[in-house]
Structure 1
Amino acid sequence: MIRHPYRSGLVALALAAAGQAAAAAPPITSNDDLGTAVAAQIACAGIFVAGRAEADVLRDDIHALAPFTRTVALSVDRKAHTVTASAPGTATRTALHRPAVGCTLTTGDVPLKALNAQAARLKPLPSRPARPWPQGDAPVARLQAAAEARLDRAALDAAVRAAFDEQNTGGYPDTRAIVVVQGGTIVAEHYAPGFTQDTRMLGWSATKSLMGTLVGLLVDDGVLALDAPAPVPEWQGAGDPRAAITLRQLLTMSSGLAFVESYKPGNDSIKMLFEAGDMGALAAARPLEHAPGTHWSYSSGTTNILSRIVFQATGGTLEGMTRFAQKRLFEPAGMRSALIEPDESGVLVGSSYGYATARDWARYGLLYLNHGQAGGKRLLSPQWLDFALTPTPASERPSYGAQLWLNRPAAAEAGRKVLQDVAPDAYMAMGHNHQIVAVIPSQDAVIVRLGWTPEGQKFDWNKHLSRIAAALAPAAAAN
């Protein structure tokens, strides 16, 4: 089960002056501190990245997220591209938006002028060309007709409606988008009011899979090697046992590094996401708790160490890393809305902050469904795909590969799977608030659900995805 970030961090008010840093953010010692930090980060993206109204973001994202965000107020400076979050009795926190890279929660350690300079030459990807799906949005009549003939239209429409109607009570947009692809075409697509096919939405931990894929591109290029010691400067001292950790072990969450993933003030996850300007450095500083390769432990810190490795391998700048992601993954896969927001050091926060439209999340699933190919070109090698979808031997259950969840049954647990009623060949990118990109090869299908399920509530992944999958073509007809 994925538990994902309630982000936090507060920063000083007036981002006025030309290059002066804001006062340093205080440590997060309470849930109220956490509330202003996570509010600044996600409200900034909701307003500037997703393009939603400030009032909607405050009501449906911030106040609905958790009890400790219900008293947060926002101050938006559209000229400076900042959002400041405040609440009674807590310090304020500010996030800065830069158009090509999204929002960054400031700590006060880096002058605002320097932050803007990091992204000064970056541009968003050009608008989508007028091409057939999936490189463009034009429907392909031949594919649509073939796919429609194989599925149960009434059952599919009912299953998609149920994922909205059973969740979105009282006008609250819990399920916000569902896109279903089969046979190479979109066979179902629906959005909550206020959201469209052009709205970028946060993947939370589904972002980990994007970062894993960026690592895979560098492995395929020969720049990185799976079984070589991971190139982490902090681990290179004489006698440091962490020097033995390999890239393979980082990708499969079996590095052995200590990292407390639970999201409570004082824990590693909170310090990393809402207090640190260099998240990968904080994670890399953690000691070994287990021998590398012997123990599986889900860790957002591990993914941000991978992010830092990609950052260094692509030039050591925000510009270099962003261009690499755009040119090697997002643009060729047709994911022109996609971005991963960076921390103050310029490293993309691969654990948590990926944004894309629902269609672009579906395009990402299609890249894997189509064996690493998109737009008639191979982006990922068969060797990488085989590794990414192989269960890590460090885990007792075969449910995790390389930054991807696997739906394989565990023999010792009477066939128990992550999604019990979905095909066992499925694999998923999953994130907090119940985001999911599910790839089902035996049905030639991708199912995307994006939403904002509040703390204490649940979206039943298994129930809703299995209903949708049951309405699609069976394995024999789909292939």
Structure 2
Amino acid sequence: MIRYSFRCSLLALALAASAPVLAAAPPITSADDLGTAVSAQLACAGIFVANRTEADVLRDDVHALAPFTRTVALSVDRKAGTVTASAPGTPTRTALYRPAVGCTLTTGDVPLKALKTQAGRLKPLAPLPARPWPQGDTPVPALQAAAEAKLDRAALDAAVSAAFDEQNVGGYPDTRAIVVVQGGAIVAERYAPGFNQSTRMLGWSATKSIMGTLVGLLVDDGVLKLDEPAPVPEWKGAGDPRGAITLRQLLTMSSGLTFVESYKPGNDSIKMLFEAGDMGALAAALPLEHAPGTFWSYSSGTTNILSRIVFEATGGTLEGMTRFAQTRLFEPAGMRSALIEPDESGVLVGSSYGYATARDWARYGLLHLNHGEAGGKRLLSQQWLDFAVTPTPASPRPSYGAQLWLNRAEAGGEGRKVLQDVATDAFMAMGHNHQIVAVIPSQDAVIVRLGWTPEGQKFDWNKYLSQIAAALAPAAPAAK
């Protein structure tokens, strides 16, 4: 069992005292400031983690992201593993790439040498061995044949094509990957030009669901307790009302903590993701706005507090947290491409920066669909899985569980489901730019859509996913 620890790394402190310090990141006061910061982070990962060309990343990710990124230029130093983003009249920002953990936006809080040392002994997971799907990529003929016999092939192909052809106008790769699994077999798979089975893609806030799963592993281990005060050192002072916040309340976005999620300069979300070297500490320092457990509010800060709890519970180092994610979740689930990028403190940014291939995102969905089992082994308890998809009482709608979105209807009708025309038992990991991993237990199906829908445009989740779901084998009749 992993011992809970709040210790700091003496090695990191020693290096911080002796190594040169980066220039402190300037505060983000304008959209242009935000543009260089987000561009450095995303471009670094696009080039080094996803292994795409600098030109493609600049054109299709950076310049397409938002109006305030259209003048950004990139400088890539492959030897140093850095990407620097610049724009007229705006301070430059730099992100550092480290194999096995991806990219980190530098703020000056930690010296460059210490950042490199944090991940010094970590290695990426080995490629998938030649095994049957889903532990490998080899199709299983019997599963394929059984699945094909039940679905409407023409309708499924048309539905998948529509999600690409209606979105990818003028050659822009908006929808970049779709993988559909039913009956244990991949029944549809398509990629935009420049992307393939090996391309790691950003899940944005779909990463929250993975971080929730890492918390679940520690709860199953008995290391963390759902209904005890969350182990956050900033809340331990006498009389601090935040000391009553439980892990359950953090997981269900009902902690009551202040956090402004909207992405505008000066808001908590921007300060956390693009100015702070320790994102969880920034979020944990915020005051209570509501009594714990009484108010639901979507908060990336809450997830990064959870990330820091996992960090401390797995040894208090980037190496310990990454190895925990690799050995307890990614490798046994077959998700060998998966990684979550860390902040400068070494904590994985569970709110936002998870990368994996489309097939590995599907494998994550399959872990839930298959009742927490993968490769013939149980990874998660049924008790945890049931909790993760139970609507939080603090929310006025039954649409959120524990770091997962739910497709539950409100009492009395279908009116406010997240996906209006998809089965009510569906639940989803969802992220910015319209990333989605939808699990539909009643159809024994997982649907993954990854893409880069720019600001001001829309990907109609309900339209495209419901068309795909309708082409699959229908839901099995309920047992009498």
Q: TM-score, normalised by structure 1?
A: 0.95
Q: Can you list the C-alpha shifts for 1:65-89, whole angstroms capped at 9, x where unaligned?
A: 0000000000000000000000000
Equivalent residues in 2 for 1:253-402 (5 A)? 253-402=253-402
Query: In the alignment, what sits opposite 1:14?
Result: none
Query: In the alignment, what sits opposite 2:136?
Result: 136
> How far did residue 411 of structure 1 move?
1.5
Query: In the alignment, what sits opposite 2:422?
Result: 422
Distance in 1 (CA, whole Å) between partners of 2:432 and 2:361 is 15
Q: Does 1:176 align with 2:179?
A: no
Query: Retained in 2: the 8 A contact 1:50–1:199?
Result: yes
Secondary structure in structure 2 of the residue aligned to 1:371: coil
Query: In the alignment, what sits opposite 2:12?
Result: none
The structure-2 alpha-carbon separation of the partners of 1:309 and 1:477, relative to structure 1 and needing over 3 Å to count, comes to: same
Write the letter of the residue equivalent to 1:410.
E
Query: In the alignment, what sits opposite 1:150?
Result: 150
Query: Retained in 1: the 8 A contact 2:48–2:102?
Result: yes
The structure-2 alpha-carbon separation of the partners of 1:413 and 1:395, relative to structure 1 and needing over 3 Å to count, comes to: farther
Secondary structure in structure 2 of the residue aligned to 1:436: strand
Secondary structure in structure 1 of the residue aligned to 2:227: coil
Distance in 2 (CA, whole Å) between partners of 1:70 and 1:247 is 41
Query: Retained in 2: the 8 A contact 1:425–1:442?
Result: yes
Equivalent residues in 2 for 1:13-52 (5 A)? 19-52=19-52
> How far did residue 416 of structure 1 move?
2.0
Query: Retained in 2: the 8 A contact 1:252–1:400?
Result: yes
Secondary structure in structure 2 of the residue aligned to 1:476: coil
Q: Can you list the C-alpha shifts for 1:227-286, whole angstroms capped at 9, x where unaligned?
A: 000000000000000000000000000000000000000000000000000000000000
Distance in 1 (CA, whole Å) between partners of 2:48 and 2:63 is 18
Query: In the alignment, what sits opposite 1:123?
Result: 123
Query: In the alignment, what sits opposite 1:205?
Result: 205
The structure-2 alpha-carbon separation of the partners of 1:450 and 1:398, relative to structure 1 and needing over 3 Å to count, comes to: same
Q: Does 1:100 align with 2:108?
A: no
Q: Can you list the C-alpha shifts for 1:127-182, whole angstroms capped at 9, x where unaligned?
A: 11100000000000000000000000000000000000000000000000000000
Query: Retained in 1: the 8 A contact 2:31–2:265?
Result: yes
Distance in 2 (CA, whole Å) between partners of 1:20 and 1:375 is 46
Distance in 2 (CA, whole Å) between partners of 1:393 and 1:236 is 26
Distance in 1 (CA, whole Å) between partners of 2:95 and 2:228 is 37
The structure-2 alpha-carbon separation of the partners of 1:137 and 1:414, relative to structure 1 and needing over 3 Å to count, comes to: closer
Write the letter of the residue equivalent to 1:145.
A
Write the letter of the residue equivalent to 2:106.
T
Query: Retained in 2: the 8 A contact 1:442–1:478?
Result: no
Secondary structure in structure 1 of the residue aligned to 2:85: strand
Query: In the alignment, what sits opposite 2:187?
Result: 187
Distance in 1 (CA, whole Å) between partners of 2:412 and 2:241 is 33
Write the letter of the residue equivalent to 2:297.
S
> How far did residue 477 of structure 1 move?
7.6
Query: In the alignment, what sits opposite 1:112?
Result: 112
> How far did residue 22 of structure 1 move?
1.6
Write the letter of the residue equivalent to 1:109.
D
Distance in 2 (CA, whole Å) between partners of 1:339 and 1:345 is 17
Query: In the alignment, what sits opposite 1:65?
Result: 65
The structure-2 alpha-carbon separation of the partners of 1:415 and 1:19, relative to structure 1 and needing over 3 Å to count, comes to: same
Distance in 2 (CA, whole Å) between partners of 1:181 and 1:399 is 23
Equivalent residues in 2 for 1:427-442 (5 A)? 427-442=427-442
Q: Can you list the C-alpha shifts for 1:430-477, whole angstroms capped at 9, x where unaligned?
A: 000000000000000000000000000000000000000000001128
> How far did residue 415 of structure 1 move?
3.7
Query: Retained in 1: the 8 A contact 2:442–2:475?
Result: yes
Distance in 2 (CA, whole Å) between partners of 1:287 and 1:74 is 38
Query: Retained in 2: the 8 A contact 1:183–1:478?
Result: no
Distance in 2 (CA, whole Å) between partners of 1:439 and 1:109 is 40
Query: In the alignment, what sits opposite 1:10?
Result: none
Secondary structure in structure 1 of the residue aligned to 2:91: coil
> How far did residue 298 of structure 1 move?
0.1
Write the letter of the residue equivalent to 2:286.
R
Write the letter of the residue equivalent to 2:64.
A
Distance in 1 (CA, whole Å) between partners of 2:107 and 2:66 is 23
Secondary structure in structure 2 of the residue aligned to 1:264: coil
Write the letter of the residue equivalent to 1:38.
V
Distance in 2 (CA, whole Å) between partners of 1:22 and 1:427 is 43
Distance in 2 (CA, whole Å) between partners of 1:371 and 1:415 is 29
Secondary structure in structure 1 of the residue aligned to 2:436: strand
Query: In the alignment, what sits opposite 1:243?
Result: 243
Distance in 1 (CA, whole Å) between partners of 2:140 and 2:475 is 22
Secondary structure in structure 2 of the residue aligned to 1:469: helix
Query: In the alignment, what sits opposite 1:15?
Result: none
Q: Give the percent of matched residue pairs that are identical in Structure 1 and Structure 2.
A: 88
Query: In the alignment, what sits opposite 2:475?
Result: 475
- Shift >6 Å, 4+ stretches: none
Query: Retained in 1: the 8 A contact 2:414–2:420?
Result: no
Distance in 1 (CA, whole Å) between partners of 2:377 and 2:134 is 13
Write the letter of the residue equivalent to 1:471.
A
Query: Retained in 2: the 8 A contact 1:311–1:318?
Result: yes
The structure-2 alpha-carbon separation of the partners of 1:329 and 1:414, relative to structure 1 and needing over 3 Å to count, comes to: closer
Secondary structure in structure 2 of the residue aligned to 1:91: strand
> How far did residue 336 of structure 1 move?
0.1
Write the letter of the residue equivalent to 1:120.
G
Q: Can you list the C-alpha shifts for 1:372-408, whole angstroms capped at 9, x where unaligned?
A: 0000000000110110010000001000000000000
Query: Retained in 2: the 8 A contact 1:427–1:439?
Result: yes
Query: In the alignment, what sits opposite 1:84?
Result: 84
Secondary structure in structure 1 of the residue aligned to 2:260: coil
Distance in 2 (CA, whole Å) between partners of 1:207 and 1:368 is 15
> How far did residue 414 of structure 1 move?
5.0
Write the letter of the residue equivalent to 2:378.
R
